[in-house]
Structure 1
Amino acid sequence: MGLEKYLVKDFISQSDSQDKETVYSGVSQRVFFGLSEAAAITKKMWIWVLLGVGLGAFIHNYIPQEMIHSAISKTGFFSVPIAVALGVPMYGSCAAIVLVAVVLFNKGVPLGTALAFMMAVVALSLPEAIMLRRAMRLQLILIFFGVIAAAIIITGYVFNLLQLSILSSSL
């Protein structure tokens, strides 16, 4: 697809230089290599990780869930894209966000909208994008977000239509 040009150059040069297979004589050499690689990655990424986790913690602790629910439930047809937009700045684990989606669904948010919100939190996390900024240029991150957001929105609308057709056929 030709998107390699949007990777940060020092990550590309490192991967090109490491194409040769390295042979280790023992476990201690492997452990030392692993620790030195982990230290090098941590030195390059620590600020981005700190910013990403800090932003996620701020949003998680200071934006109430009720505000998200009220914004989603009052928007009608545009609830799916709004749910995706609200999910992007959040940072959550897959297991935790499923419970949030179930609560939203039980409180009357359409199934597709709740699923779109859940998928956006997991797949389009802004804190993770901040961390990826060290390895990718902004253009590649925007392409990724655009493709995934479009797929999530389509999935949300499909599930909302399925839910509507099932409810109308059961009446």
Structure 2
Amino acid sequence: GIGIGALIHGFVPEDALVSIMGEDAWWSVPLSVLLGIPLYSNAAGVIPIVSALLDKGAALGTALAFMMSVVALSLPEMIILRRVLKPQLLAIFAAVIGVSILITGYLFNLVM
């Protein structure tokens, strides 16, 4: 998490990040969720990444949606849960969590 956060902080131009993950971009929340799914980290490990995103101008709801997707919807997490949940229940779990993360991200972007 610290390495990715440092890369974002040092090498990603602020205007590029704002155009992708800023409040004005309607696609920023779903995109941040999709970017977070392949990563695997705990909540503490993703904080440096979220801090760098916020410093570069990402919207709060977008950064929050990214953080929640890394922790709750990551691909390795789904592989682990596949061992204890049936495929149908796992799909329902992922759908409910995904929709909840999207709603939370948009709500925070609207309010903040």
Structure 1 stretches of at least 4 aligned residues deviating more than 2 Å after TM superposition: 64-67, 69-75
Matched, 1:124 2:87: no
1:74, distance to aligned residue in structure 2 (A): 2.3
In structure 2, what is the Cα distance between the partners aligned to 1:103 and 1:144?
30
In structure 2, what is the Cα distance between the partners aligned to 1:128 and 1:147?
15
Q: TM-score, normalised by structure 1?
A: 0.52
In structure 2, what is the Cα distance between the partners aligned to 1:127 and 1:72?
29
Structure 1 gap segments, 5+ residues each: 1-59, 164-171
Match of 1:99 in 2: 48
* Identity %, equivalent residues: 48
State the structure with more CA Rg. 1
Matched, 1:80 2:29: yes
Q: How many residues align?
A: 101
| Letter in structure 1 aligned against 2:20 | K
Match of 1:160 in 2: 109
In structure 1, what is the Cα distance between the partners aligned to 2:78 and 2:34?
14
Match of 1:150 in 2: 99
Bigger RCO (CA 8 Å, 6+ sep): 2
Indicate the SS of the match to 2:26. helix
| Contact persistence 2:17–2:57 (CA under 8 A) | no
**Cα 1:100/1:162, change in 2 over 3 Å:** same
What does the per-residue CA deviation read over 1:74-130, in whole Å, with 9 as the maximum and x for residues that have no partner? Answer: 261011011111111110121111221111011011110000000110111210111
In structure 2, what is the Cα distance between the partners aligned to 1:122 and 1:109?
19
Match of 1:110 in 2: 59
Map 1:34-49 → 2, pairs under 5 A: none
In structure 1, what is the Cα distance between the partners aligned to 2:20 and 2:64?
17
